[in-house]
Amino acid sequence: MFSRLARPASSIINRNFSTTISNNANVAVLGASGGIGQPLSLLLKMSPFVTRLTLYDIAHTPGVAADLSHISSPAQVKGFMGPNQLADCLKGAEVVLIPAGVPRKPGMTRDDLFNTNASIVRDLVSVCADVCPKAMICIITNPVNSTVPIAAEVLKKKKVYDPRRLFGVTTLDVVRASTFIAEAKGLSVKSVNMPIIGGHSGVTIIPLISQCTPPVSFPQDVREKLTVRIQNAGTEVVEAKAGSGSATLSMAFAAAKFAESLVEAIGGATGKVECAFVESKETEAKYFATPILLGRHGVETNLGMGKLIEYERKLVDAAMPELLANIKKGEEFVKKP
């Protein structure tokens, strides 16, 4: 089932040819008992590419791990609860997925989560730096535009930062965009690949409809409406859930898709491309999401943003003030004494 997840976005992916060399990844989920953590752990437990799955949270992990461990798939599952057990959870981890932290309620922006989630990410990544400094760290916790710079600064302080190994998970934006475009054009969603660049909040989410595969065209007013819907899709879910949280199931799907590509790439598979928020030289923003060719060491090649139409260039300009401010806020949080 897992390997039948919809293929990743970006036109380059249509040229994927995968030769898997080794499938035995050690994956840790931090925040594993939460709305995202539980279905994400389920999808990872079902993955043929995961052999050991360690689950950490400040609550409920023994139950979640016991439950998952009865599933008849090869991955060995172990639960760890509370800060005293975090290091044991991370021993030997090659990929660490972090969905720990609070989600939005109606009326909140992702930045409103900063005060709570910044220290959660800082503290978790700090232990990763000590215990599994070579692991690929994938940050799901919002605000991703700030939590990725926080993670980078923590890793730098510990002198183990490798920009190829740190990712902000923006796959859900790609998943949503592909779904909306397929609906709008009556296409099979499996055939739609579309890159999303920039960041992961409101106007910083920049869909590149002009680079969609197969090519699609819309009158400008429809293009603008679709762009705004993709940018606000998270809020659509937050409002529909009416106070009980934000996207969890679609996020688990998206994170599992990203993790699967990463694990396969680490194992030697070639041609794995996913959009992700990484350290970047594409724009003046130090971190910027673009399609990334994944390899044994994480980011193999940043495939960049390609050729933008004028409307998309304006979206990049409009995103920049918020993106730069979010990044600075994250960096300063760690740098402050």
Ligand X SMILES: NC(=O)c1ccc[n+]([C@@H]2O[C@H](COP(=O)([O-])OP(=O)(O)OC[C@H]3O[C@@H](n4cnc5c(N)ncnc54)[C@H](O)[C@@H]3O)[C@@H](O)[C@H]2O)c1
Q: Which residues bind ligand X (CB under 6 A)?
A: 30-31, 33-37, 57-59, 99-104, 113, 117, 120, 124, 140-142, 144, 169, 172, 200, 245-248, 251
**Gap between the Cα atoms of 181 and 285, Å rounded:** 28
CB of 211 to ligand X, least distance (A): 21
Closer to ligand X by CB, 13 or 100: give it: 100
186 known member of a binding site:
no
Beta strand 196-198 pairing with 205-207? antiparallel
Closer to ligand X by CB, 90 or 120: give it: 120
DSSP character at residue 135: S
313 known member of a binding site:
no
CB of 151 to ligand X, least distance (A): 13
3-state secondary structure of 174: helix
Query: Of 60, 70, 200, 297, which one is the catalytic site residue?
Result: 200
269 known member of a binding site:
no
CB of 139 to ligand X, least distance (A): 8
Omega before residue 62 within 30° of 0, cis: no
Closer to ligand X by CB, 55 or 209: give it: 55
Ramachandran region, residue 268 (left: φ > 0; alpha: ψ -120 to 50; beta: rest): left
CB of 230 to ligand X, least distance (A): 12
196 known member of a binding site:
no
3-state secondary structure of 268: coil
Angle ∠(302,306,309) on CA atoms, nearest 5: 150
Closer to ligand X by CB, 208 or 269: give it: 208
Residue 200 appears among annotated catalytic residues: yes
122 known member of a binding site:
no
3-state secondary structure of 328: helix
Closer to ligand X by CB, 210 or 280: give it: 280
CA dihedral defined by 104, 31, 331, 286, rounded to 10 degrees? -90
4 known member of a binding site:
no
Closest CB to ligand X belongs to which residue? 34
CB of 146 to ligand X, least distance (A): 11
**Gap between the Cα atoms of 130 and 95, Å rounded:** 15
Instruction: Give the start-end residues of each E strand in the chain.
Output: 25-30, 50-57, 76-81, 95-98, 136-139, 166-168, 196-198, 205-207, 272-279, 287-295, 298-302
**Gap between the Cα atoms of 35 and 105, Å rounded:** 14
Query: Where is the binding site for NAD(+), in residues?
Result: 31-37, 57, 117, 140-142, 251
Query: Where is the binding site for substrate, in residues?
Result: 104, 110, 142, 176
What residues are annotated to the active site?
200
Query: Where is the binding site, in residues?
Result: 31-37, 57, 104, 110, 117, 140-142, 176, 251
